[in-house]
Amino acid sequence: MRVLPRDCHEMLMTLSGQARDGVYLIQPGDSPIVAYCAMQEGGWTVVQHITVNSSVNFDCTWAEYKHGFGHITGDHWLGNEYLHQLTRGPGRYKLGVKLVDRDAITKTGEYDPFMVEDESSAYRLRLGLFQGTAVDALTLDTENYLHDNQRFTTKDRDNDNYFQNCAKLEFQGVPGGGWWYDACAGANLNRRNVIYWQKDCNKERLCKYAWMMVRPSDTVKLIPSGDCKKDEL
């Protein structure tokens, strides 16, 4: 039985649109989880955050990506199972991506709708139309890689379309980490030493931070603008 808001936007609605960014208890499935809520931007549930050369290890196993890891107020992956629970409905969800480069230039994008299938489908990624100031790095195959409709791959579970495991391939000694690889990547926000998003973030144009966030599609903006273990409260 669900007794808490299912996501950060619903939490914002219960607080009459008046809430600060921070850590909240939400309940997208049977059990409550801790999530970071970007309330000042309209109630986004943060599902990923990474800082270049992060101290958090993103080279994690299938089980760790399933349940999440990292520091919920900093660099982390919320968990594929919770991504599925959040986006399976009721209602339609969208994905927000935010990128900040070393010159403090911010680019954003949204995919609507956005859904992650269940574990039996290897948490397959489903994306709709894109809009934003960033390039569309997930549904356009401008670098011969298409991430939409791909299954999730980790170092111990290879579901990609390459003859090797893309999650194990290294750049300057750092493996790629878990992601929805094709064969391999036109984008990868889980590589610690180079945050990659086609021409917006790469080894020539370094990005300092990246976020992935989800929110129901039909919403109104009310307020202006280690290791592979999740922190305990």
Quick one: which H or E segment has residue 13? helix 8-14
Question: Which residue did the predictor score with more confidence, 117 or 175?
Answer: 117
Residues paired with residue 170 on neighbouring β-strands, in sequence order: 175
Q: What is the CATH number of domain 8-216?
A: 3.90.215.10
Question: Residue 219: its pLDDT value, please?
Answer: 72
Q: Residue 207, preceding bond cis, omega within 30 degrees? A: no
Q: Are 80 and 62 in contact (CB under 8 A)?
A: no
Residues paired with residue 153 on neighbouring β-strands, in sequence order: 179
Q: What is the pTM of this model?
A: 0.92
What mean pLDDT is reported for the chain? 92
Question: Which residue did the predictor score with more confidence, 79 or 172?
Answer: 79
State the average pLDDT over residues 45-53. Answer: 98
pLDDT category of residue 233 using cuts at 50, 70 and 90:
very low
Cα 221 from Cα 195, distance rounded (Å) = 29
Query: Distances from the Cα of 120 to the Cαs of 53, 116, 136, 160, 161, in angstroms?
Result: 33, 11, 28, 15, 18
The answer to whether the Cα torsion of 152, 154, 158, 162 is positive or negative is positive
Tens of pLDDT along 169-218?
A: 988 888 899 999 999 999 999 998 999 999 999 999 999 999 999 999 98
pLDDT category of residue 223 using cuts at 50, 70 and 90:
very low
- For 203, the token pair is 């080894």
State the average pLDDT over residues 136-150. Answer: 88
Cα 28 from Cα 6, distance rounded (Å) = 4
Q: Are 81 and 67 in contact (CB under 8 A)?
A: yes
